[in-house]
Structure 1
Amino acid sequence: MSTAGEHVPDAPSGPSHYRILLIEDDPGDALLVEELLDDTGLRFELTTRTTLAGARAELLSSRADCILLDLHLPDVSGIDALTTVRSLAPHTAVIVLTGLSEAQAGTEAMAAGAQDYLVKGKVDADLLDRTVRYAVYRSHTERVSAEVQAARQRAEENARLERGLLPQPILDTSSVRVTSRYLPGAALALLGGDFLDVVEGDDGLLHAVVGDVSGHGPDAAALGVFLRIAWRSLVLGGHRGKDLLHLMERILVAERGSHALFATCTILTLDQQAGTIILHLAGHHEPLLTTVQGTREVTAAHGMALGIVPGLRSWPSTTVPLPASGALTLYTDGLTEGHSGADDDRLGVEGLLTLIGNLPPADPAAHVDRLIKETHRLNAGRHSDDLAVLRLDWGEPTSLT
């Protein structure tokens, strides 16, 4: 509480120019506040409104640093006035103006979210100066603290989602080297519905999946986690090919509920001894094969995305011979759907292959990081799809591009 005559320590520094909104219907009181502000050391811009309706329009069209609020307005009074103002400007300092006979009003207002209160008739310029500075400072501190807490919660949620979407590969005897990356589509965003996984089966074959649930947000992320865990469990249980995709689709349909979500994915089985991979594309694009001759897109038959036509089971397989040494890169749309530069053209697969061809040789992890960095540079923040990349290297270690 602030009243005249009490000792108030020096107020913290604030903005160089204060935007103050006064909501007061009494012309005399409004004039007094303006005169007191003129006598303070504040540089300010004062806007006065006589009703909450007028203040609402002002708050929706511009931003204030501090609101001086009379609790008795023609269209609302008491704590209801404060509650409404706080809902319109939740991160703006509010100082309530009370009358001499309202002993409890100021305390109740602070309990309801006001930064401070001033008693009319007991305010001088020095007190008003310090009260405004402190209120704005506290409001700013609370806002920063809330933003830090929100960022921490997002980071914790991302960590939980990452454990579900980006598990540790299960590799027993396989010599295949695994590199994976996952980036949310926007700064501070939660991870989305992209997912990937790699496991080695009891038969010694390596199995991998990269998938993308339609949409963004927690529903897509949760469904991505369900599908990733289902894929791993089913693969370790011996399910393969169409049977595996059919069971994944049944799980998707059961878990999506009323949400019209579907998923695309590429699943593969890599047999190093036979020198082949078996591919199934469920609405997803082909992986990239890298050898010492360069990088190209693997030609493979396409099937239906999961959940589009449940029960259709249209997932043809493609067997691809592999060189003794090489790399396969599986990825989601976030790598290719961004822009290719200054124009509005999408990067696309052809642009991605050109980009890969221009990158300097590097080890797998550095190469994937450079590739993602370069696509982001070209895109210049104009596209915000999630991005998942899984690279599998086998044979003699080389600086393949």
Structure 2
Amino acid sequence: MGSALGLGSQHPADTSGQLAASPPRQASTVEQDRFETLWSNRPPHVLLIEDDEGDALLVEALVEDSGVDVRLGRARTLAHALAQLDAEAPQCVLLDLHLPDAQGLDALNKVLARSAEAAVVVLTGLSEEQAGLAAVAAGAQDYLVKGRLEADGFMRAIRYAMQRKQTELAAAALQTGRLRAEENARLERGLLPTPLLLDDTVSVCARYRPGRAQALLGGDFYDVVQTPDGATHAVVGDVSGHGPDEAALGVCLRVAWRAFVMAGARGQALLDLLEKILVAERSGPEIFATLIAVTRPPGDSGVAVQRAGHPGFLVRSSKGVRMEAVAGGPALGIVPDWDSTWPVTQIPMEPSGALMLFTDGLIEGRTGPGSERLDEQGLLDIARRHADLPAEQFVDTLIHTAQSLAADWGGLADDVAVLHLEWNTSS
């Protein structure tokens, strides 16, 4: 290497002509507080990638003279540095551009690729400022020219480089979060649509709650439509898994269900079509979906129900609340090559009765040690205690109670979708 790092202030000579060691300069209280606040009182890890022993010693002296507590590591080759980066990510990398096994921007690019969260400061010679500028353009936070450094300026440059890198990472994380939130909002609008109602003979109360600490949108979905003949059709479904693929598949199934119902598909034919859509659109053969679909013609004394691997549903009447678990078929996509059947079952209802469909996230939260769960019976017990509440309070109370019972055991782990339908015969 051509030039050595120049210290801004030399150690005073003693009477024998040898350099006498002076005590390290103590950083000011303000300077130290700012540095420690940035790194939560932990000394930052700085990795020096430098093959020249003289320059490495002078860097050590600059760090010592600064009076700032820094954990300084050393690598003599790029290969050695990459191995250290894999073992422990530093907050800052001091990189010489002339190494035995890498030169110039090639070394920088490999360091950036291996440690994207570290602030990289390039060390250049007096005649290499253009190389330093090129390094900054390529992703380095800063460059320092050898021969022009003092302890204060050296440590200040490292600190500012780390601050800029943290700001850059925070801005990138904020942008990623914003984009994810926008994508989730688009998917959520598709999963949780506005009911398509032609009159006020039926009132709809819908709720969706994400599972505990759920960063990814799930595939729970619901929909309600009234067809021109006055019949009310509703569905609640749940795609297995969480993430954008599952949410997108839930949107696809929900939109397909609405389109097929509006086009006149009913019963076995409707679920056959939905299973074909699921198999064509799913990201892997392990993905399946459960659902429950109901249809009630105007003035009918009952409701037609189809169930595909889904929990039962609650029926509310003047006599109280009951759980209905009708015969059903397998979840969609479980055995797509078989001739699966999903029978349609007629369930009696009062003219002004109500029903509540839900996904299994509402009943599968742990409520005690081991595998104890709320289950359908537990939900029914809660519903019976609050049978006199109006629709919105009834639904919110059931969800809140289920969440409270599971709170000490990790909360509701899965998403919850609830759809409450109540008929008004006076309209």
Q: Secondary structure at the match of 1:277?
A: strand
Match runs of 1:284-299 below 5 Å: 284-291=310-317, 295-299=321-325
Separation in 2 of the partners of 1:306 and 1:53?
A: 52
SS in 1 for 2:98: coil
1:399 alignment counterpart: none
What residue in structure 2 maps to residue 318 of structure 1?
345
**CA, structure 1 residues 195+120, in 2 after alignment: closer, same or farther (shift >3 Å)?**
same
Instruction: Quote the Cα distance in structure 1 between the aligned partners of 2:86 and 2:369.
Output: 35
**Please, which moves more after superposition, 127-136 or 213-222?**
213-222
Count of aligned pairs: 391
Q: Decide whether the 8 Å contact of 1:182 with 1:388 is kept in 2.
A: yes
Q: Does 1:121 align with 2:152?
A: no
Q: Does 1:364 align with 2:391?
A: yes
**C-alpha distance in structure 2 between counterparts of 1:363 and 1:66, whole Å:** 61
1:51 to 64, 77, 100: 77
Q: In structure 1, what is the equivalent of residue 132 of structure 2?
A: 106
Displacement of 1:296: 3.5
Equivalent runs, 1:142-221 vs 2, <5 Å: 142-185=168-211, 187=213, 189-221=215-247
Secondary structure of 1:87's aligned partner: helix
Gaps of 5+ in 1: 397-401
Measured against aligned partners, the alpha-carbon deviations of 1:95-125 in whole angstroms (never above 9, x if no partner) come to: 1222333232211211121111112222111
Counterpart Cα distance in 1 of 2:80 and 2:396: 53
Q: Which is further off, 138-147 or 48-57?
A: 48-57
Q: Say which is worse superposed, 88-97 or 287-296, in terms of deviation.
A: 287-296
Indicate if the aligned counterparts of 1:154 and 1:190 stay in contact, CA closer than 8 A: no
| Residues 201-251 of structure 1, C-alpha deviations (whole Å, 9 max, x = no match) | 112121101112233323222222221111111111222111211222222
Residues 1:349 and 2:376 are matched in the alignment? yes
**Contact 2:289 2:332 (8 Å CA) reproduced:** yes
The aligned counterpart of 1:393 is 422
Cα deviation per residue 1:269-319 (whole Å; 9 max; x = unaligned)? 134622311110012121122446654421300112222333614101211
Pair 1:376–1:92, CA change in 2 (3 A)? farther
Partner amino acid for 2:254? R
**Given that residues 213 and 220 in structure 1 are in contact (C-alpha distance below 8 angstroms), is that contact kept between their aligned partners in structure 2?**
yes
1:45 CA drift (Å): 2.3
1:362-390 deviation digits (Å, cap 9, x = unpaired): 54334434444444452554764333222
Higher alpha-carbon deviation: 321-330 or 301-310 = 321-330
Deviates more, 1:21-30 or 1:256-265: 256-265
The aligned residue for residue 13 of structure 2 is none
**Aligned mate of 2:45, from 6, 13, 20:** 20
Query: What's the offset of the Cα at 1:82?
Result: 2.1
Contact persistence 1:288–1:295 (CA under 8 A): yes
Query: 1: CA distance between counterparts of 2:117 and 2:410?
Result: 28
Equivalent position amino acid for 2:240 in 1: S
Please list every run of 5 or more consecutive structure 2 residues that lacks an aligned counterpart in the other structure.
1-5, 9-29
* Residues 212 and 265 in structure 1, CA contact (< 8 A), matched pair in contact too: yes
How far off is 1:325 after superposition? Answer: 4.5
Question: What residue identity is the alignment partner of 1:394?
Answer: W
Q: What is the identity, as a one-letter code, of the residue corresponding to 1:280?
A: Q
Classify the secondary structure of the residue corresponding to 1:142. helix
Superposed displacement of residue 327, structure 1: 3.4
Q: Distance in 1 between matches of 2:294 and 2:42?
A: 62
Partner of 1:222: 248
Q: Distance in 1 between matches of 2:94 and 2:66?
A: 15
- SS state of the match for residue 55, structure 2? helix
Q: Does 1:90 align with 2:119?
A: no
Q: What is the TM-score normalised by the length of structure 2? A: 0.81
How many angstroms apart in 2 are the aligned matches of 1:23 and 1:362? 69
2:276 — aligned with what?
A: 250
Which residue type is aligned with residue 350 of structure 2? P
Q: Quick check: 1:174–1:206 contact (8 Å CA) kept in 2?
A: no
Give the equivalent residue in structure 2 for 1:336.
Answer: 363
Q: Distance in 2 between matches of 1:136 and 1:189?
A: 28
- Counterpart of 1:211 in structure 2: which amino acid? G
Deviations 1:50-104 (A, max 9, x none): 3344434443343432222223334433223222222232222221222333232
SS at match of 1:104: helix
Asked whether 1:309 is paired with 2:335, we answer yes
- Which shows bigger deviation, 16-25 or 298-307? 16-25
Q: Distance in 1 between matches of 2:379 and 2:82?
A: 50
Any residues of structure 2 matched to 1:48-87 within 5 Å, and which?
A: 48-87=74-113
Counterpart residue number, 2:165: 139
Say which of 284, 287, 294 aligns to 1:261. Answer: 287
Cα–Cα, structure 1 residues 154 and 187, in superposed 2: closer, same or farther, change >3 Å? farther
Q: Deviations over 1:166-210 (max 9, x none)?
A: 111011224322122234446463423222100111121211011
Normalising by structure 1, report the TM-score: 0.86
Which digits, 9 at most, give the CA deviation of each residue in 1:120-172, with x for residues without a partner? 22211111122122111111111111111111111111121122211110112
260-269 vs 16-25, which deviates more? 16-25
Q: How many angstroms apart in 2 are the aligned matches of 1:240 and 1:73?
A: 72
